[in-house]
Amino acid sequence: MKVLALDIGDKWTGVAVGDTNYKLALPHSVIKAESVDDLLEQVTSLVKTEQAELVVVGIPIALSGEASKQTVKTNQVVGLLSKKIKIKVVTFDERLTTRRASAPAALPTRQVDEKAAMYLLQDYLDQANLA
């Protein structure tokens, strides 16, 4: 099954694609959206283009396990996206994905965002019971 992953940020949304059969995630792109509606439209288009059957959205939870302002914003986007597209949307803890993606500090932000989405999706594929 083809999976699309989103690492939603304030300025950029990292995108990764993967497949549950191969349990492999790859960085795809970065979305710069002017509004939530714009983000939803771009994601909807990507779902169709990539023929995704599942969307995994990273939930930014603090290391302490508590929610943040970004957690609330992301959950709102997840709710809207779930209503807009006809495939399942799930959330997954994205703690430390950006830090892992930033390991070589010289990478441009855009690459970091899509790599963070890739780490998110790879963690999901590795841990989820997808049988």
pLDDT (mean) for 44-54: 97
Residue 123 has what pLDDT?
87
Task: Say which residue, 74 or 67, is predicted with more confidence.
Answer: 74
Residue 120 has what pLDDT?
85
Least reliable range by pLDDT among 25-34, 36-45, 108-117:
108-117
Nearest CA-CA partner of 3 in 98, 112, 121: 121
pTM of the model: 0.84
For 79-125, the pLDDT digits (tens) are: 999 999 999 999 988 766 666 565 565 345 557 788 888 888 988 99
Domains and CATH numbers, the chain: 2-127 (3.30.420.140)
Cα 28 to Cα 66: distance, rounded to the nearest angstrom: 29
